[in-house]
Amino acid sequence: MAPAGGKSRYTKDFMRTLRPVKVQGSTLKTCSFNESVERVQVFLETGGRPLNAEVDLWQGPDNAPQKMRVYLEDGALRPFSAVIESPGAGNAIAIRNTAPMEFPLSAY
């Protein structure tokens, strides 16, 4: 059995090998993908500041988006990670940083 927090540490280490997308405060970033993708992982962190964001899954033009609201006191100590199922075609992930401009976040 892995020590408490061990799995989280491995996820953080792996995600930090990827190139992050900087999402400034009060901005929106989107990422679309093709229909062969069954699920996506979203990993959000900050440099030790609060993280305040909305993560949406948009599925096609006629469906209401699936929404998550995320708030963390310290986005470096406790980053946000989620695996989101994305069946069908026309999917996109939207990440909106609802914090002020002084609080950017990194999305992987």
**Cα–Cα distance for residue pair 98/35, rounded to 1 Å:** 29
Run of H or E including 54: strand 51-59
What is the average per-residue pLDDT within 14-33? 90
Classify 86 as helix, strand or coil. coil
Check if the beta carbon of residue 84 is closer than 8 Å to that of residue 40. yes
Separation of alpha carbons 64 and 30, rounded Å: 16
The one-character DSSP state at 60 is T
Q: Which amino acid appears at position 88 of this protein?
A: G
Q: What is the pLDDT of residues 47-81, one digit of tens each?
A: 999 999 999 999 988 889 999 999 999 999 999 99
Q: What would the pLDDT profile of 83-96 be if each residue is shown by its tens digit?
A: 999 988 889 999 99
pTM over 0.75, yes/no: yes
Q: Is 48 left (phi over 0), alpha (psi -120 to 50) or beta?
A: left
Taking the C-alpha atoms of residue 10 and residue 8, their distance in angstroms, rounded to an integer, is 5
